[in-house]
Structure 1
Amino acid sequence: MTLKKYLNRNHPTYPELEKDLAKRWAGYWGEAALANYVKELPQEKYLILHDLQLQLYDTHFQIDTLLIAPTHSLIIEAKNIIGTLYFDNIFNQLIRINPDGTEDSFEDPRTQCRRLQSLLKRWLIQHNLHLLPIDYLIFFKSTNKTILKTNGTTIDTSRICKGRDLFSKIEGIEKQYKQVKIQAAKWKEIAQYLVNQHTPQQVDILQEYGLTVNDLPWGVLCQDCTHLMHYQKGIWQCPKCHSVSKDAHIEAINDYLLLIKPTITNQECQTILHLPTSDVTRRILISLNLPTTGHTKSRVYHQWAGDKCYQFIEEKIITQRR
């Protein structure tokens, strides 16, 4: 979303970015639907981890939802694909038939899950925690625009479900794993260790799309009409819709720290915000209370680590708008 906000609609990369963003939103809503269902599972039976990201040597892998029980663990991969869907056993792909008769091909989610199953097993062995058998399920968000069909070939649907059918599938898998493998203390220890080892993959989003900082028309965007705002006497003013703001620069600085690099200098900030002087820029940067290194002209301002960055930005905006 942040990159799309700044990239010109006429840029040749924009259609690709828009298409990828739509896929990410679909994935997000699929995972959100799955999360709403699994929260109904009994807490005494399962520990539930969402969006778990781990690293095995040079390989990063992400698990939408992982259920951990004393008898087994269960990977659940969420899908949110609209259309009529067929599982092709011959070429291991998922085929979507669109209303206009055209077809799209996706990687078979069963293949994805088996890969995750293997990676998680190897990761647990590496950390001396492979104490539970690992199974998997593929969950499709319940919608009347998603139709699952078979093409006549023999397809194992025991690990494919849609909507609330998730619970009957989980119960069916439970019956296969009746023997308790670990006690409660170890059960929780494994879950906590997985959380502690959560390692989000660092992605250079500009490099991913072959962009540079010069491809983005930086500035402070009006929250009402997205037009570039002008700074005058401590106030940001929109020449198009005439909105005014005292803190519109906060979002622009945060976007730079997220998209370009986690540090910013006075000169860089003055350039991207189109501020009149370095003194005005310095006052704005100091007001954010960002961590710094260096002194005077060599001072570098650093992004807050992790979620603290978002929390700080939200608190700053709320404080300044009071």
Structure 2
Amino acid sequence: MIMKDRASPGIRKVCDAGLRRLRPGHPVAGKLEERRKQAEAGFGGEERVDGVLAEYRHPGPIRVFADLGLVCGSRFQLDALLLTRSWACLLEVKNISGRSVIRDIPPQLVRITKDGREEALGSPFAQLDSHLMLFRDWLHERNTPIPVYGAVVFAYPSQMVEAAAAPHPILFPNNIPLFLRNLPEHPLLDEHELDGLARQVLAAHSPYVQRPLCTMYPQVSRSDIRTGVICPDCGEMGMRWHDRAWHCRCGCISRSAHIGALHDWFHIFGGELTNEECRRFLGVEDRHAAKRLMKSAGLEVSGSGRWTTYRLKL
């Protein structure tokens, strides 16, 4: 049973907003293109694993969680968590192009590209060990004495992986069902207790808050960001607000085009939006119109009067 689906990565939204809004030729644009490709690849690999888990049928009840954020002393993010009456299992998912060489001293993964370049990344085994330790502590705090297992999953069988020593199993998605079936089955929880634990996991989930563009890249200034509402039909910047709708030179009329622009603002700048800043970014003169536009976008409101601010709902 799927208890929690995977959300689209926030970094992808930040990159998209930046690529739409940065002035042409800005040096950060190339970095955003690369980060977006990496996020897309990682998300695609995780979705491939999600597909296998959605079709998997365990002999007993099983609860599956994707993209789970928990806190136990420090925050940790699990790609996939599976719970049964007998065990918990963490899957650390990787989608890395080129050849991956996992070393234990020092613990790192070295990615070797087709042209022979090497790039050092964090060891998936070290990351999994950290998550196993933290999740065991999380269970201990809740007096739930079930064993916790783990595996590193490379999303595509075409990926080339080398490991001198493998303290945890290395799997491809089609290996996951057999791996799960071979885990020891000694029920320690009844189904009612399993469901209670699943509810605790969902209640404890803490969504990851993606940093906005301007904190990721301090060299991006407000003057680097193009303002205005983008036409949903032709893609041109600078729709005009009148007669309670957005109008573009191409003839497009929209009542909701500002919503995407406001989301761009939060992905780029973060924090709280004022009425004045909203008017400046959207190109609206009337403060009452700006207030209605922010309200229609479903933003959270705090304060009152001249001290009113708006935030993007998580």
Give the TM-score of the pair, scaled to structure 2: 0.82
Decide whether the 8 Å contact of 1:83 with 1:97 is kept in 2: yes
In the aligned structure 2, how far is the partner of 1:26 from the partner of 1:261? Answer: 25
Decide whether the 8 Å contact of 1:131 with 1:182 is kept in 2: no
Decide whether the 8 Å contact of 1:84 with 1:148 is kept in 2: yes
1:171 partnered with 2:181: yes
1:270 partnered with 2:279: yes
Question: What is the CA distance between 1:28 and its match in structure 2?
Answer: 1.0
| Aligned residue in 1 for 2:150 | 136
Question: What is the CA distance between 1:90 and its match in structure 2?
Answer: 3.4
1:266-307 Cα shifts (integer Å, max 9, x gaps): 322211111243354345345557554555x5262534643x
Instruction: Please give the secondary structure, in 1, of the residue aligned with 2:206.
Output: coil
| Aligned residue in 2 for 1:194 | 201
In the aligned structure 1, how far is the partner of 2:86 from the partner of 2:130? Answer: 21
Question: What is the CA distance between 1:214 and its match in structure 2?
Answer: 4.5
In the aligned structure 2, how far is the partner of 1:209 from the partner of 1:262? Answer: 16
Instruction: Please give the secondary structure, in 2, of the residue aligned with 1:204.
Output: coil
In 2 relative to 1, CA 8–129 (structure 1 residues): closer, same or farther, beyond 3 Å?
Answer: farther
| Aligned residue in 1 for 2:217 | 209
1:8-27 → structure 2 map (5 Å cutoff): 8-27=23-42
In 2 relative to 1, CA 225–41 (structure 1 residues): closer, same or farther, beyond 3 Å?
Answer: same
| Aligned residue in 1 for 2:61 | 45
Whichever residue aligns with residue 140 of structure 1, its letter is F
In 2 relative to 1, CA 128–221 (structure 1 residues): closer, same or farther, beyond 3 Å?
Answer: same
Q: Which runs of 5+ in 1 are unaligned?
A: 307-322
In the aligned structure 2, how far is the partner of 1:93 from the partner of 1:181? Answer: 36
In 2 relative to 1, CA 2–36 (structure 1 residues): closer, same or farther, beyond 3 Å?
Answer: same
1:75 partnered with 2:65: no
| Aligned residue in 2 for 1:88 | 103
**What is the RMSD computed on CA atoms of the aligned residues?**
2.7
Q: Which runs of 5+ in 2 are unaligned?
A: 1-15
Instruction: Please give the secondary structure, in 2, of the residue aligned with 1:23.
Output: helix
In the aligned structure 2, how far is the partner of 1:115 from the partner of 1:220? Answer: 44
Whichever residue aligns with residue 187 of structure 2, its letter is V
Whichever residue aligns with residue 308 of structure 2, its letter is V
1:206-285 → structure 2 map (5 Å cutoff): 206-210=214-218, 211=220, 213-234=222-243, 235-239=245-249, 243-261=252-270, 263-285=272-294
How many pairs align? Answer: 295
Question: What is the CA distance between 1:38 and its match in structure 2?
Answer: 0.8
In the aligned structure 2, how far is the partner of 1:7 from the partner of 1:231? Answer: 20
Whichever residue aligns with residue 183 of structure 1, its letter is D
In the aligned structure 1, how far is the partner of 2:82 from the partner of 2:34? Answer: 31
| Aligned residue in 2 for 1:311 | none
Instruction: Please give the secondary structure, in 1, of the residue aligned with 2:176.
Output: helix
Whichever residue aligns with residue 298 of structure 1, its letter is R
In the aligned structure 1, how far is the partner of 2:168 from the partner of 2:263? Answer: 46
In 2 relative to 1, CA 120–228 (structure 1 residues): closer, same or farther, beyond 3 Å?
Answer: same
Question: What is the aligned counterpart of 2:50 among 1, 18, 35?
Answer: 35
In the aligned structure 2, how far is the partner of 1:100 from the partner of 1:136? Answer: 33
Decide whether the 8 Å contact of 1:229 with 1:236 is kept in 2: no
Decide whether the 8 Å contact of 2:231 with 2:237 is kept in 1: yes
In the aligned structure 2, how far is the partner of 1:185 from the partner of 1:9? Answer: 58
Percentage identity across paired residues of the two chains: 23
In 2 relative to 1, CA 222–115 (structure 1 residues): closer, same or farther, beyond 3 Å?
Answer: same
Decide whether the 8 Å contact of 1:70 with 1:182 is kept in 2: yes
Decide whether the 8 Å contact of 1:263 with 1:301 is kept in 2: yes
Instruction: Please give the secondary structure, in 1, of the residue aligned with 2:120.
Output: strand
1:243-266 Cα shifts (integer Å, max 9, x gaps): 443321122123334543464333
